[in-house]
Amino acid sequence: MRSEDWPRFEPFDPEGWAAERDWRAGDFGAELAEFRQAREATLAFLRDLAPSDLERVGVSSGFGAVTLHEYATHVAEHDAEHLGQLEALCRTLAGR
């Protein structure tokens, strides 16, 4: 979105994506570290943007036209939702 005018995002199949990765079989600690690294890279990218970059538009098959700011906000909210799910699971497993 930063360097391309009105890019189109490929359709996304969350069930297929989850089945392909089958997180139950992985190393949670290593995957969490990879997630943190990816988000640190995302934050570094966002910090380097000019205010005008945040208004650049792309087209999502699920959301339609979105600005880079709106897309980044969606990613943050999506991550927060999943982190909340992990916290709830940890509390359940700990018997709280």
**Boundaries of every domain in the chain:** 14-93
CATH number belonging to domain 14-93: 1.20.120.450
26: three-class secondary structure by DSSP: coil
**How would you classify residue 22: left for phi > 0, otherwise alpha for psi between -120 and 50, otherwise beta?**
left
64: three-class secondary structure by DSSP: strand
Q: How far apart are alpha carbons 40 and 47 in whole angstroms? A: 11
State the DSSP code for 95: T
Q: Please list the pLDDT of the chain residue by residue as tens digits (96 residues).
A: 999 999 998 887 888 878 887 777 888 889 889 989 999 999 999 999 999 999 999 998 888 999 999 999 999 999 999 899 989 988 998 887
Element (H, E) at 31: helix 28-47
The single residue listed with the structure tokens 């897309």 is 71
pLDDT, position 26? 80
pLDDT, position 39? 93
The single residue listed with the structure tokens 């966002």 is 46
